[in-house]
Amino acid sequence: MIPDHLFEPFRSPGLDLPNRIVMAPMTRCFSPDGVPGDDVVQYYRRRAEGGAGLIISEGAAIDEPAAVTNPRIPRFHGEEPLDGWQRIVDAVHAAGSAFFPQLWHTGAARQSELSANPEVEAISPSGLFAPGQAVGRAMTDADIERLVAAYGQGAEDAKRLGCDGIELHFAHGYLVDQFFWPEVNLRADAHGADRYLLAEAIVAECRRRVGPGFPIGLRFSQWKQQDYDARIFANPADLSAFLTRMVDAGVTIFHCSSRRFWEPEFEGEALNLAGWTKKLTGVTVITVGSVGLNQEFLVSRTGVDTAIDESRLEALNGMLARGEFDLVAIGRALLADPLWPRKVRAGRFENLITYSKDAERTLA
């Protein structure tokens, strides 16, 4: 079955897409000294030409010294890196797709000893990477002010470059998600009493910098790289409290990261995390989680070849048809085969290139 709803155009305030397919952000580390070169430009161009309606970049470091570990992770600050991003934006637009950079700070996930500036400590809410696992130092009020300003500058630069929006990476146990997580946010100040305060401030600053009408996306998750079973939101009421504040601050798109898109988020209803987010907010929502693979995210990362599961595509198509979410992010399947959207639309499932770990070793 061809999932026809995947290929319907999508329009929302500030965003006009040819279809519902989003290239999910995936860390690649092919930008020496943080500067995306021609190979990175062509990598994104190929996915746009292959039919992904919206390209979300790999996580790009904001202008904060402890943002990331690997010096080959692209930076979203400085003249030379931003020139590289300009070329990416232009290439994606020329291929008919929209482009969002994903703005990122890894927090206590940073490994300072492996970085280009090992003298800079990792920063986080309380100097913890995981419960009981000390890494780096707790952030000061001045650190928090600088962080908010750095995200705002990234948003402003994205708009200046002609990006169609931005995505804020607040998921997977990285810095802002560490503030959400009570097991590692042990602060005794306002940011401990109100775990959403930092996220709210970042979103509001980004909105102030870009003005009304410019899409601001926010990626969040329950699971963490430190604990796949972690849950910030125990029920829909908890989720609603978070979402409402983010929308009020300026978020227009939620990217709801789960490991398996087909699993219900809460007992008693079949909706996944994206489905609940759509139900509670009505704003634009992206689902993600092992789309286009026949094994879940964690299994696919072990190097085992994974092919498409047509029955899950059929289920996904039904969820789209029911309006449970608006857009579908595809990661490793699109990494393996840039032409995945065009092949699926034509029903050429037998011609799809299956994902294996080898796909991560190049920018094919």
| Bridge partner list, 221 | 257
Give the model's pLDDT for residue 357.
87
Give the model's pLDDT for residue 300.
45
Q: How confident is the model at residue 208 (pLDDT cuts 50, 70, 90)?
A: very high
Give the span between the Cα atoms of 7 and 53, in whole angstroms.
9
- Residue type present at position 64: E
Q: Please choose, from the candidates 271, 223, 255, the residue with its C-alpha nearest in 3D space to the C-alpha of residue 331.
A: 255
Give the model's pLDDT for residue 298.
46
Ranges of each domain in the chain = 4-361
Give the model's pLDDT for residue 307.
56
Phi, psi (degrees; rounded to nearest 5) at 347: 75, 20
Asked if pLDDT for residue 200 goes beyond 90, the answer is yes
Q: How confident is the model at residue 295 (pLDDT cuts 50, 70, 90)?
A: low
Give the span between the Cα atoms of 89 and 84, in whole angstroms.
9
Give the span between the Cα atoms of 299 and 261, in whole angstroms.
15
Asked if pLDDT for residue 80 goes beyond 60, the answer is yes
Asked if pLDDT for residue 254 goes beyond 50, the answer is yes
Asked if pLDDT for residue 297 goes beyond 70, the answer is no
Per-residue pLDDT, averaged over 29-58, amounts to 98
Q: How confident is the model at residue 296 (pLDDT cuts 50, 70, 90)?
A: low
Asked if pLDDT for residue 305 goes beyond 70, the answer is no
The residues near 141 (Cβ < 8 Å, ≥ 6 apart) are 189
Asked if pLDDT for residue 123 goes beyond 50, the answer is yes
Percent of the chain past pLDDT 90, that is, above it, reads: 88
pTM of the full predicted structure? 0.95
Active site residues: 174
Tell whether domain 4-361 is in CATH 3.40.50.20.
no
Q: How confident is the model at residue 290 (pLDDT cuts 50, 70, 90)?
A: confident
Q: How confident is the model at residue 291 (pLDDT cuts 50, 70, 90)?
A: confident
Average pLDDT for the chain: 95
Per-residue burial over 301-317, b = 16 or more CB atoms within 10 Å of its CB, e = otherwise: eeeebbbbbeebbeebb
